[in-house]
Amino acid sequence: MTASLLQAPRLHRTVLANGLTVLVLENPVADIVSARLFIRAGGAFEAPHQAGLVSFLMGLLTKGTETLSSMAIAETVESVGASLGTDAAADYSVISLKTVSADFPEIFALAATLLRQPSFPHDEIDLERRLTLQQIRSMQEQPFTIAFNRLRQDMYGEHPYALPGIGTEASVSAITQQALVDFHRQHMRPDNVVVTIVGRIGPEAALAQVEQALGDWQVPAMPPPALTLPSVTTTATCSMVAQDTNQAIVMVGYPAAPVKHPAYAALKLINTYLGNGLSSRLFVELREKRGLAYDVSAFYPTRLGLSQFVAYIGTAPENTATALESLRFEVERLQETVLSDDELQAAKNKLLGQYALGKQTNAQIAQLLGWYEILGLGVEYDQQFQDMVAAVTVLDAEAVAQEFFHTPCISLLGPEEFVAPVAQAQA
């Protein structure tokens, strides 16, 4: 399996005069070009009263420019059978597109226009607001989402990661056209943008496209806004949502290292060991050996700020107490129990193997490279991450478990008669 994208001599990295970074990787195999336009601004840049602003803004980028209506934009994309979408994450935002190679110039030029010249039309703001508010209400239909939103709130308090990226009913109701224009002016600027292009296109041609569409974009004199995140003091909490569901949801979350922290690779490895795949510890102990769940897993998102390590299970309501105890046991056990060399090596093989499998399509590669670049890790991180994982020792894993796995926040959801006693026992 290819160890590193950098070993491929095909990767070209260029910084334009206006500070915009371009990454091009030629891959002639399929007649497809995938591109991403990353912006160094995500939900983490929102003030609490602005929650959901970036997500809202990204949604509106495709809904009108100074010269094109929402429908004209849709028709341009759909008439050539391309795909074009936007997304807002916690630490960045992105416009994604995919075309057959002949259509790339036209659709890329459109994406660049959307990024530079959105007009945020009032009627589109109203429609987007209506759809977004309903989407926020619809989150209440999913037990997992309710439990996770609670957990996140408990863990992060006033930190912007506390709220779902889509925002709240109150904050989305208050978004104005002026707020969108202001945020766009502050953050959407060439030195805050990384463009990745992967597929059947030569580096010269790709670079020429970017120059033409984005080369004359002026950098404002002011430096771009820096990200300042409040510090978080997590205290152990237990929150409960009573619902007459068929399954109870049990979640435990521990504050965890940001991506640039030395513990990052070891925590990713522990996450793999505990929660990734059919041979993971949680799956084997709680599902295979005890039949407690269909879905039991763990996740540890990559974040510039304080992250979280979450383990969760969906189980029959009468198993709530057992499930909570077992989840905590499996995570916190790693403070005292040193993994065997075999267990560690198995987790490394799994993490690195699946990492390699995540680079199969042009879109996956475009996402990974641009993501590293926009987070400030650089494309070299593709190799560095693999080296760091390979270097983790069993003692590193233990030390990291001791550092992070001691103050869990707990979130429970399920029928009151089963869940309430468990929550009370935690108090």
Partner 1 sequence: MNSVDFPASVIRLENGLTLIHQEIAATPVVVADVWVKAGAITEPTEWAGMAHFLEHMIFKGTDQLPPGVFDYAIETQGGMTNAATSHDYAHFYITIAADMLPQTLPYLADLLLHAAIPADEFSRERQVVLEEIRQAQDDPDWLGYQAMSELVYQDHPYGRPVLGTAEILQQRSPEEMRCFHQAHYQPDKMTVVIAGGIPLEPTVAMVKHAFRGFASPPPCPVAAIAPVPTLPGVRREILHLPRLEQSRLTMAWLAPGIDQLETAYGLDLLAAILAEGRSSRLVRELREDRQLVQDISAGFSLQRDCSLFTIQAWLDGKDVDRVEAIVCDRISELVANPITEAELARAKRLLCNDYAFSTEAPGQLAGLYGYYGTIANADRCLSYVPTLQRYTSAQLQSLAHQYLTPLRYVSTILRPA
Under the rule (CB under 8 A), what is the footprint of partner 1? 1-2, 29-32, 70-71, 74-75, 77-83, 98-100, 127, 130-131, 134-135, 137-138, 140-143, 243-247, 277-279, 284, 287-295, 314-316, 345-346, 349-350, 352-354, 356-357, 360-362
- Choice between 82 and 207, CB closer to partner 1: 82
> 201 vs 257, which CB is nearer to partner 1?
201
Q: How far is the CB of 139 from partner 1 (least distance, A)?
A: 8
Q: Provide the token pair at 265.
A: 């690779």
Nearer to partner 1, 127 or 181 (CB): 127
Q: In whole angstroms, how far apart are CA 134 and each of 117, 282, 419?
A: 28, 35, 28
Q: Which is nearer to partner 1, 28 or 262 (CB)?
A: 28
Dihedral-angle region of residue 81 (phi above 0 means left; psi in -120 to 50 means alpha; beta otherwise): left
Task: Report in angstroms the alpha-carbon separations of 178 from 45, 99, 181, 358.
Answer: 17, 33, 5, 40
Q: C-beta of 148: minimal distance to partner 1 in Å?
A: 15
> Which CB atom, from 353 or from 378, has the smaller least distance to partner 1?
353
CB of 181 to partner 1, least distance (A): 23
Residues 6+ apart with CB under 8 A from 133: 169, 172, 173
Q: How far is the CB of 118 from partner 1 (least distance, A)?
A: 16
Our CB check for partner 1 shows the closer of 25 and 193 to be 25
Strand pairing class (193-199; 32-39): antiparallel
DSSP single-letter state for residue 64: B
Partners of 198 in the β-ladder: 25, 34
Residue 206 token pair: 């790709």
- In this structure, which amino acid lies at residue 62? T
Query: Tokens at residue 378, please?
Result: 């650089």
| Residue 24 CB, nearest approach to partner 1 (Å) | 18
Task: Mention every residue, 6+ apart, whose C-beta is less than 8 A from residue 50.
Answer: 171, 175, 179, 183
In the complex with partner 1, the residue whose CB is nearer, 192 or 411, is 411
Our CB check for partner 1 shows the closer of 86 and 247 to be 247
| Least CB distance to partner 1 at residue 344 (A) | 11
- Kindly state the smallest distance separating residue 362's Cβ from partner 1, in Å: 7
The encoded tokens of residue 169 equal 């009913």
From CA 193, how far away is CA 208, in angstroms rounded? 17
Residue 253 β-bridge partners: 310, 409
Residue 304 vs 323, nearer CB to partner 1: 323
Handedness of CA 265, 268, 274, 280 (dihedral sign): negative
Nearest to 228 by CA among 287, 304, 142, 320: 304
Q: Strands, DSSP E only, in 289-395?
A: 296-299, 307-315
| Whole-number Å distance between alpha carbons of 3 and 7 | 8
- Which residue has 């390699």 as its token pair? 356
Using alpha carbons, select from 318, 321, 323, 317 the residue that is nearest to residue 292: 323
Considering the complex, state which of residue 219 and residue 356 has its C-beta at the smaller distance from partner 1: 356
* Minimal distance, residue 36 CB to partner 1, in Å: 15
The two three-digit tokens of residue 106, written as one number: 């036209």
Q: Which CB atom, from 279 or from 402, has the smaller least distance to partner 1?
A: 279
- Minimum CB distance to partner 1, residue 152 (Å): 20
Reference 43, options 166, 155, 135, 139; nearest CA is 166
**Strands in 244-306 per DSSP E:** 248-256, 296-299
Measured distance CA(164)–CA(9) in Å, rounded: 40
Closest contact distance (angstroms) between CB of 287 and partner 1 is: 6
The nearest distance, CB 171 to partner 1, in angstroms, is: 18
